[in-house]
Structure 1
Amino acid sequence: MIQDSQRPVLLTGVNGQVGFELARSLQGLGKIVALDRTRLDLANPDQIRAVVRDLKPRIIVNPAAYTAVDAAESDAALAMRLNAEAPAVFAQEAKRIGAALVQYSTDYVFDGTKAGAWAEGDEAKPLSIYGKSKLAAEQAIADSGCHHLIFRTSWVYGLRGRNFLLTMLRLAVERDRLRIVSDQIGAPTWAVTIAALTAQVLAQAAAVGEQGWSEWWTRHTGVYHLTAAGETSWYGFAEAIFEMGGLVTRPEVEPIPSLAYPTPAARPANSRLSNARFAQTFGLCAPHWRDALELCLAGR
C-alpha cells in the first residue's frame, strides 16, 4: 500500500495564471500531477470523482475557476458549476480519502461597504454571480468537514492569461488616452506571490511529518486572506504599470468614478483584505504590491 507521504499532489488549472505558477512553486512537496481542462473537466462531477479516486492525492490544490466576472452574470449556471459545485466535489472526495484541499477565493465575496480592511470573520455579501459562486464554494468546503485552506485573494495579475496588467500594456500601445476607475480600492496581487506563499504554507505542513500531519491540518483548517501588502485603485495600478513598464510612450490616464464605467457585474468599492491572520498563523507576509509588480515586469 502506498504510504501517505508518497501520495501525489493534484493540481488543477495548470494553464491558468495561478495554476501555472503553482506547478513550479510546489516542486519538492512530492509528485505533482498537474492537469488542465482537457484532462480534468471541472464541469463534470463524475470525472472529478474518478480522477481523485484513481490518483488518491494527499493534497488537492484547486486554482481552476470561472473568472470572467462580467460574463458570469449571463452564464450563472456554468459559473456555479465550475466555481461552487466542482470545489464541493473535491471537498467531498478529500474527506472520503483523507486528503487536504487548498481552494482559492476572492475579495468579491464582500460588498465593499466596510470602511477598513476586511477580516475573515466579516459577513460576506457578494454583489455578483462570480462572488456568490466563490462564497458557495467556501461554504460547501466547510460543510464537508475535510481538511482545507481557503485563500481569499484579490486583483490577480501576471504575464500570462487575461488580466489587468496585460490589458494595460496592450492598450498603452494602441491608445494615447485611457480612462480608469479610481474609486475601487484593493491590492493587486501577483500570481507568483500567491503560488510562492501557498508552497511555503504546504511546506510547513509537510515538515511536521506523518505523525503530526492530521493534527496540523485540524489546527490550521479555515479561511485566510492572502494578498499583496498595501493598497491602490485601478487608476493607481495603471499608473504604476506605465511608470515601471519601460514603455516608449505612456498614455495619458484619466481617473474616473465607477459610475462612468458601468459593467454587468457590480464590484465592491473597498476590496482591501487584512492579511493579519495569515501572517500570525504562518509567519509569512506578502511583498508590497509595487515591489511585486516591479519584479513581475522585470521578467518581461
Structure 2
Amino acid sequence: MTMERNILVTGVNGQVGFELARSLQGLGRVVALDRQQFDLSDLDQIRRVIRESKPALIVNPAAYTAVDQAEQEVDLAMRINGEAPGVIAEEARSLGAALVHFSTDYVFDGTKAGAYVETDATNPQNVYGSSKLAGEQAIAQVGCASLVLRTSWVYGLRGKNFLLTMLRLAADKPSLRIVGDQHGAPTWSKTIATLVAHIAAQGGIEGNDWWRAKSGVYHLCAGGSTTWADFARAIFDTSALEKKPSVEPIPASEYPTPAKRPANSRMSCGKLEAAFGLKVPQWDDALRLCLAER
C-alpha cells in the first residue's frame, strides 16, 4: 500500500475508529468517516461513499453496539451489524480492495471451559451477538479479501466503556458491587489499532493476493483473562485515585440485563499471532499503558 492509495476508516468517533484513524497514518491516505458521513443504516450511502473514495483497504470498526437496546431494536441492529458488512464486502470485491471488519466474543454462548478458537461453534445468546454473526456470514458469502477480527471487552480513554464508568463511580462511591463470574480479556482500543496497523503494513507490501491468502476469521484481544470485578480492582489499583472504592463480586444473576452475556468470553489469539508474527499484550500490561496516557 502506497501513500497514493486510500484507506477508508469508519466510525472514527468511536473508541476503536478514533485510534485506527491515527495508527494507519503513513500506510496510505486515510479517509476517516464518522456516522453522518458513513451511516451503516443507509446502505445506498455506503455504496456511494465507497465508490467515490475508491479505497484499497476498508477498515470497519463502526457498529451498532448498544447491547441491551438491541433486544428492542432488532431490525436496526441487524441492518447495521448484519446487512451493512455484506454491502461493504460487495463494494470491496468490486474494487479489488481488502476489508478489515470487527466482530465480537458475543458470537459464542460462553459455555466452553477454556479459551475459544476460531473453529469453535458459534451460538450467540442475544440480538447483538446474532447481528454480529450475521455480518461475519455476509462477508464470508461475498468472498472478498477480508479479515474478520473478533475482539472483547473493549475500553479506552474516550466514549462509553467500563474503564471510564469505573473511574467516574470511584469519585463518589465508597463500594461497588460488580459481576465476578463472567470471564474475558479487557482489550484497550489502542492495542487493537496498533495490531491492525502492523497487519495492514504487511498487507500493503504484498498487495491484494496477500490479503486474499490471509482472509478469514481471527481473534484479536488482550492476553490472559479476568472478571469484571477484578478488572475494576485493577483499574482502581493502577490509577492514582484519592479514594479507592472496595469491590464486592456478585453473580451475574444479581445484575440482570435485557441481553444475556456469555459467562466465558476468553478467546485464543494463537491463530492471529502465528499468521502475522505478532504478540498480543497481556490485559493488565495494556491497562497500565492506557492509564499512563490518562
Partner of 1:293: 287
Post-superposition shift, 1:61?
0.4
Give the structure 1 partner of residue 231 of structure 2. 237
Task: Tell me the secondary structure at the aligned position of residue 162 of structure 1.
Answer: coil
2:137 paired residue among 136, 139, 147? 139
| TM-superposed deviation, 1:279 | 0.7
Show CA shifts across 1:105-155 (max 9, x none): 000000000011000010000001000010000000000010000100000
Query: Is 1:31 aligned with 2:29?
Result: yes
Alpha carbons 1:106, 1:153 under 8 Å: kept: yes
8 Å CA contact 2:156, 2:190 repeated in 1? yes
Matching residue of 2:247: 253
Name the SS for the 2:261 alignment partner.
Answer: coil
| Corresponding position: 1:280 with 2:278 | no
For residue 288 of structure 1, what is the amino acid of its counterpart?
Q
For residue 229 of structure 1, give the secondary structure of its aligned residue in structure 2. Answer: coil
Residues 229 and 286, structure 1, Cα contact 8 Å, conserved in 2 = yes
**Cα distance in 2 between the residues matched to 1:106 and 1:176:** 33
Corresponding residue for residue 71 of structure 2: 73
Q: Which residue of 1 aligns with 2:189?
A: 191
Paired positions, count: 294
Q: Which residue of 1 aligns with 2:82?
A: 84
SS in 1 for 2:268: coil
Runs of 4+ that moved beyond 6 A: none
Residues in 2 aligned to 1:292 and 1:234: alpha-carbon distance in whole angstroms = 16
Partner Cα distance (2:36, 2:142) in 1: 27
Unpaired segments of 5 or more residues in structure 1? none
Query: In the alignment, residue 149 of structure 1 is paired with which amino acid?
Result: L
Gaps of 5+ in 2: none
C-alpha deviation, 1:5, in angstroms: 7.1
Structure 1 residue 6 displacement after superposition: 2.6
Contact 1:65 1:83 in 2 (8 A): yes
Q: Cα deviations across residues 154-187 of structure 1 (Å, max 9, x unaligned)?
A: 0000000000000000011121111000100000
1:5-40 CA deviation, whole Å, 9 max, x = no partner? Answer: 733011100000000000110011110000001212
**Counterpart code for 1:116:** G
Cα pair 1:91 1:144 within 8 Å, conserved: yes
Amino acid at match of 1:138: E
- Determine whether 1:114 maps to 2:112: yes
| 1:93-242 correspondence runs (5 A) | 93-208=91-206, 213-242=207-236
Q: What's the % identity of the aligned pairs?
A: 62
Is 1:269–2:266 an aligned residue pair? no
Amino acid at match of 2:251: P
Quote how far apart the aligned CAs of 1:63 are: 0.3
- Structure 2: which amino acid aligns with 1:107? D
TM-score (norm 1): 0.96
Once the two structures are overlaid, the 10-residue window that deviates more, 183-192 or 169-178, is 169-178
Distance 2:73 2:284 in 1: 34
What corresponds to 1:14 in structure 2?
Answer: 12
SS at match of 1:292: helix
**2:144, 2:212 within 8 Å by CA — same for their partners in 1?**
no
> Do the aligned partners of 2:77 and 2:131 also contact (CA within 8 Å) in 1?
yes
Note the alpha carbon deviations across 1:46-94, whole angstroms, 9 max, x for none.
Answer: 0000001111111110000111111111111111111111111100111
**Scaled by the length of structure 2, what TM-score is found?**
0.98
5 Å matches for 1:46-61? 46-61=44-59
Distance 1:166 1:93 in 2: 36
- Shift, 1:4, TM fit: 8.3
> Could you tell me how far apart the structure 2 residues matched to 1:273 and 1:171 are?
29
Provide the C-alpha distance between the structure 1 equivalents of 2:191 and 2:222, rounded to a whole number of angstroms: 8
Would the aligned equivalents of 1:4 and 1:58 in 2 still touch at CA under 8 Å? no
Q: Would the alpha carbon gap of residues 294 and 4 (structure 1) be closer, same or farther in structure 2, given more than 3 Å must change? A: closer
Using the alignment, how far apart are the partners of 2:225 and 2:36 within structure 1? 37
Contact (CA 8 Å) 2:67, 2:259: kept in 1 or not? yes
Q: CA RMSD in A?
A: 1.1
* Secondary structure, counterpart of 1:28 in structure 2: coil
